[in-house]
Structure 1
Amino acid sequence: MRLLHTMLRVGDLQRSIEFYTSVLGMKLLRQRENEAYSYTLAFLGYGDESDHTVLELTYNWGVDHYEHGNAFGHIAIEVDNIYDACAHVKNRGGLVSREPGPVKGGTTEIAFVKDPDGYAIELIQKKIQ
């Protein structure tokens, strides 16, 4: 078994694709529309779906926002340099909601950014082996 994807519902598919590709450096892997059920799916990631977990963005036609509720936490992305990554996010117009620094009670450096729909994305500094 392996984890295939995480799905997020988005209110503006093109805006979200732009964020995940231009700001976070993912690639748009595939996209398809389902006219019968009025939705579009876009799959993005850092590698091919055959051996990487990817992100599925779902746009339900005509729905421009969602309530996140209190169950979902965040998605996490490992980065080579957390300070450079946060600077890149800011330079591309993204929101860093928690500046880089150690996690409470630990030493791992993390930061948080928000996507255009307000979903939290944790950036985690890659550990040097």
Structure 2
Amino acid sequence: MSDGFKFLHTMIRVKDLDKSIAFYCDHLGMQLIRRKDYPSGKFTLAFVGYGNEEDNTVVELTHNWDREDDYEKGEGFGHLAIGVPDIYQTCEALEKEGLEIPRPPGPMKHGGSVIAFIKDPDGYMIELIEKK
């Protein structure tokens, strides 16, 4: 059944689109792939990622123009995960840039990967996993 299926993107709602694009592109090295306004629906979609949408899974940032309040995160959503070559150096650089790191880099409690968690401008958790 899954023959020909492909994971395309993950969508998150963001309050300040420009701030979110800057976070994902400037701090995490993604590229703005495309951005389109939908005036009749009063929203904008922006897609960011590490390569084109044909070959890579990307993040869709949805900005509803009239939104003033922060979004509720709910208890079902967990986090996005990004592999980095040197987690300690990455976190040190991100901390100098003023990013919040609620879980500093280090080994997982029960063994395995070396991880850290940072927050994006809307409070979404981003897990950094060291991939050497």
Map 1:56-67 onto structure 2 (within 5 A): 56-64=60-68, 65-67=70-72
Aligned residues: 127
Counterpart of 2:76 (choices 67, 71, 76) is 71
| Residue in structure 1 matched with residue 38 of structure 2 by the alignment | 34
Contact 1:22 1:92 in 2 (8 A): no
* 3-state SS, counterpart of residue 102 of structure 2: strand
| Residue in structure 1 matched with residue 25 of structure 2 by the alignment | 21
- Unmatched segments (≥5 aa) in structure 2: none
Q: TM-score, normalised by structure 1?
A: 0.95
Greater Cα shift, 110-119 or 62-71 = 62-71
CA RMSD of aligned residues (A): 0.9
Q: Alignment identity in percent?
A: 52
- In structure 2, C-alpha distance between the alignment counterparts of 1:122 and 1:113, rounded to whole Å: 7
Code of the aligned partner of 1:77: I
Map 1:39-50 onto structure 2 (within 5 A): 39-50=43-54
| Residue in structure 2 matched with residue 84 of structure 1 by the alignment | 89
- In structure 1, C-alpha distance between the alignment counterparts of 2:127 and 2:113, rounded to whole Å: 12
Contact 1:102 1:110 in 2 (8 A): yes
* 3-state SS, counterpart of residue 95 of structure 1: coil
String of CA shifts for 1:24-82, please: whole Å, max 9, x gaps.
11110100000110000000001111100000000001213201111100000001110
Deviation at 1:107, TM superposition (A): 2.6
Q: TM-score, normalised by structure 2?
A: 0.93
- In structure 2, C-alpha distance between the alignment counterparts of 1:87 and 1:26, rounded to whole Å: 19
